[in-house]
Structure 1
């Protein structure tokens, strides 16, 4: 009888072990999420915000490269009539596939820089100025380092977004626009590998200063809005009693719009320099391009300053809407995913070694 019971126990042993195996596999996933929290949050939030904001980014690039002023509704209607819905997402796969690397690396560098400064008692006090400067230094480091890897991808993205404008400048009429791989091959064939870094000095300056401003403002705003040293959201100030769930969207939108508005002229000049190079037109220096955007192409009849500034900030409106959408959603989903990871159940204590069961 005892022998029969033992056999029965052995028969049911796999069924008894299976829940434990499932438990420890789940715990391994949870532990991996905890250890890579910043990366997981950044990648998840980036995919969602990029998909939502990309059509606006495409219209922004077209407005910047346009030789003649045009309203956003008319431009959107023209893109839809000529290219369909796909026209708004031309070049979308480039940022979609690269955004995981760029954002994950950016947040890793940003957080690592801040931790390094804190560990060395530099800007470690919990005051608004220190918090903002920590974010700014971390952002500048992230923007500078990431720009070396992101510049070629952004150049190809601009090329894909402006295929029709570039073809028009070359006097070419498309039967079928080239694919992304064909666009890369064309750039390398005509300009060599270095051609993928056309306009890089402007790209480096824009990303370093823009990312520094962005994180400086975001961390400063979150501190003002009651974020605790632990990272959790505390009570908001009495003069702006926003619900806690709205704070990430508000701070992300504010920092995104204001930092982008400050560096917008750099982005316009960069896009113009890159467009001319891709179209095979005569190369112009940064200052010459900037001067022509402000004063116009005719030195004998310069355009008024206010018109030049209007030309320099063409597309800012649609870009501001894009920033509100993209950065608001980015930080909203970043905090949502972070909160989900923080609420994961703690590792179970069942008095056995998971490695022996798994």
Structure 2
């Protein structure tokens, strides 16, 4: 199985890797976004968002912060409504507001997900290839190393875009105004201010990626042996991705809670100009959550996160594997018939 994977990777170009990962990101966002729209509406119904406050939206691939009910802001969030449950919310939103509302927030999701996913998955495969070809190799931990490094790199590269996107979401800015806004922030707080929230993101995403890829490669290899397949089938990739994503999601949930808290703080301090009294460090936020809600507070929202992460991981990896297989066979045909 490992040999077959290596051959496939060598046949694909960087562009083909990027195309396969981008297709996965688009399809995943299309499937998962409605789930989060409904979840957010149900949450708002039981605990209404106050005017001028914000909430975190996550598609399973990326997360975003939105402001609620301000007359001068462009936001997809309107009002909670009165829903009895998930199915009732699904039906009523379509009947009253139209089916398009279920994909509200899709644009910023894709803007962040496509470059992040392209960098992440392309780097992962090429790092795996490089690490497996090194002398004295021990392939067992290659997915852990490659997954951690590729996620570290993608988060670091894309992190400033999150801050820029936050500014653009809150108020309409021309490119000149946006440039002045960002340049002023850099002049006052330095270049590192563009990476605000980077630490909590790294603490959540790097361990997630390490566990996800280790479990995914192991499960994929085991299932391929059981079904006697040389390449992972769609079912094998889908099942392995869902299981691996669930395990990683549960383990890293405390850092996801901290990340959500930090995103909300960042929004309020950057756009609503609300001074933040809490400690800025990730550990300070974690201590505050434990002090107020106990250890269970660090696992708040684990159920809805699993409902998003499991299908998101399953759809993303199965689509990506299918895309790689497609390009591999396409390249093979070209080589046979030049």
TM class, shorter-length:
0.5 to 0.7
Consecutive unaligned residues of structure 1, counting only runs of 5 or more, are 1-32, 125-129, 164-176, 235-243, 297-302
- C-alpha distance in structure 1 between counterparts of 2:328 and 2:38, whole Å: 38
CA distance in 2, matches of 1:220, 1:347: 32
Using a 3 Å threshold, how does the CA distance of structure 1 residues 69 and 263 change in structure 2: closer, same or farther? farther
Q: What are the equivalent positions in structure 2 for 1:159-170 lying under 5 Å apart?
A: none
Contact 2:164–2:182 (8 Å) recurs in 1:
no
Matched, 1:346 2:333: yes
| Contact kept? 1:257, 1:323, Cα under 8 Å | yes
| Aligned equivalent of 1:269, options 241, 247, 258 | 258
Q: 1:35 to 1:194 in 2, by over 3 A?
A: closer
Following superposition, the deviation at residue 43 of structure 1 comes to 1.5
User: Per-residue CA shift, 1:258-302, capped at 9, x if unaligned?
Assistant: 111111111111111221232133142323321222231xxxxxx
1:223 matched residue in structure 2: 221
Distance 1:149 1:107 in 2: 14
- Quote the Cα distance in structure 1 between the aligned partners of 2:197 and 2:42: 19
2:230 aligned with 1:232, yes or no? yes
Matches within 5 A, 1:127-276: 130-131=139-140, 133-155=141-163, 178=171, 188=182, 191-192=185-186, 195-226=193-224, 232-233=230-231, 244-276=233-265
The aligned length equals: 277
Equivalent residue, structure 2, for 1:35: 13
**How far did residue 336 of structure 1 move?**
2.4
Q: Tell me if 1:50 matches 2:37.
A: no
SS at match of 2:263: helix
Compared CA separation, residues 295 and 65, structure 1 to 2 (3 A): farther
What is residue 291 of structure 1 aligned with on the other side?
Answer: 287
The C-alpha deviation readout for 1:144-191, integer Å capped at 9, x for no partner, is: 11111222344566789xx8xxxxxxxxxxxxx745979978974895
2:224 counterpart SS class: coil
Compute the TM-score of the two structures, normalised by the length of structure 2: 0.66
1:188-211 alpha-carbon deviations (Å, 9 max, x no partner): 489557554221111122222111
SS at match of 2:265: helix
* Inter-CA distance 275–245: structure 2 relative to 1 (3 Å threshold): closer
1:39–1:223 distance in 2 versus 1, CA, 3 Å: same
CA distance in 1, matches of 2:85, 2:184: 30
Structure 2 distance, partners of 1:142, 1:207, is: 10
Give CA-to-partner distance per residue, 1:221-256, whole Å, 9 cap, x none: 11221269xx9337xxxxxxxxx4411110011111
2:305 is the counterpart of 1:319: yes
Shift of 1:118: 1.5
